Amino acid sequence: MPSGKHYDYDFDDLLRVYATLGVREGRDIYVTSDLSRLMRYREPGRDALLASHLRALQELLGPTGTLFVPTASLNLCNTGIMFDPDVTPSADMGVFAEYVRTRPNAVRSFHPFWSFAGIGPAAPKFLHDVSRHGYGWGSVFQRFVSNDVLGLNVGLSPHYSISVIHHIETVVGVPYRYNKEFIHPVLRAGREVKEPFYLNVLYRKCDIVRDKNQKIFNHFQRCGTLKDAVLGRGKAYSFSHAEFFRVTAELLKQDIYAWLEQPPTRRPYQH
């Protein structure tokens, strides 16, 4: 961008970068984002920034493509706070995800801890009738993998926000996690009811040190395809969910502790 301008990128840059990363007519995409390094957009203001990113993606997807974002509310775990899919905000999923969730035409999946919102014709297929488990068969993550949804990470490297790894851990059966049942209040058909939901969580007494997906992503960059493009003062990335699942599941099959910095010495699951 020529010096002296008060902005780093404009709408044409959005179209160019997103197209380069594989966003096109009829694709289904899953967007995670951190726009903190992408605030210097040509049109000033938060609403203009968010609306422009959404408009660029929708223009490229056309009427047959669908956009998904994470709207998880993991902060509700171990609380008595009722989940209402229409009004419960996402927690720590970024301003763009929350912006998409609040669009009038957005569809949201029904899970108090791991929900998703989508805009487009495929949203009901992906987000209705989902599993009570946040991961595994029947989860939205499983549908992303089965339908090879394009992962799009905007403003941050995907190794910081690749939550599908926990779905892969669940399928592979890593020993340092277990399925936990939460009896949680939700708004169902206009009534507050308590229902069971499940997550694959870490053993508390296991001396786990996470490596922030470094080994997993180094492996994926060697054995898979991770695209990237400069956008403003940051970057955007894309990858295939199906390929990431295949490559990472194979890695975990060979090294069941690949998600960790090192194998734990305290193993409460060991007998």
As a whole-number percent, the residues of the chain with pLDDT over 90 amount to 93
Mean pLDDT of the chain: 95
Can you tell me the distance from the alpha carbon of 29 to that of 103, in angstroms, rounded to the nearest whole number?
17
Which residue has tokens 């974002």? 69
Can you tell me the distance from the alpha carbon of 136 to that of 268, in angstroms, rounded to the nearest whole number?
23
Whether 159 shows a pLDDT value over 90: the answer reads: no
Whether 2 shows a pLDDT value over 60: the answer reads: no
Whether the pTM exceeds 0.85: the reply is yes
Average pLDDT over residues 244-262: 97
Instruction: Kindly state the tokens that stand for 53.
Output: 């990113």
Whether 93 shows a pLDDT value over 60: the answer reads: yes
Distances from the Cα of 192 to the Cαs of 33, 90, 109, 185, in angstroms? 32, 19, 17, 6
Burial class (CB in 10 A: 0-12, 13-18, 19+), 53: buried
Can you tell me the distance from the alpha carbon of 182 to that of 195, in angstroms, rounded to the nearest whole number?
8
Instruction: Kindly state the tokens that stand for 201.
Output: 């969580």
With both helix axes pointing from N to C terminus, report the angle between 46-61 and 11-20 in degrees, rounded to the nearest 10: 40
Whether 25 shows a pLDDT value over 90: the answer reads: yes
- CA 57 and chain centroid, separation: 16
Whole-number pLDDT of residue 1 = 42
Whole-number pLDDT of residue 69 = 98
Whole-number pLDDT of residue 4 = 56
Burial pattern 137-157, b for ≥16 Cβ within 10 A else e, equals eebbbbbbbeeebbbbbbbbb
As a whole-number percent, the residues of the chain with pLDDT over 70 amount to 99
Q: Residue 202's pLDDT band (boundaries 50, 70, 90)? A: very high
Q: What would the pLDDT profile of 144-158 be if each residue is shown by its tens digit?
A: 999 999 999 999 888
Distances from the Cα of 47 to the Cαs of 43, 68, 95, 99, in angstroms? 9, 19, 10, 9
Q: What would the pLDDT profile of 107-147 be if each residue is shown by its tens digit?
A: 999 999 999 999 999 999 999 999 999 999 999 999 999 99
Whole-number pLDDT of residue 156 = 86
Whole-number pLDDT of residue 96 = 97
Average pLDDT over residues 213-220: 94
Can you tell me the distance from the alpha carbon of 99 to that of 97, in angstroms, rounded to the nearest whole number?
5
Average pLDDT over residues 79-84: 98
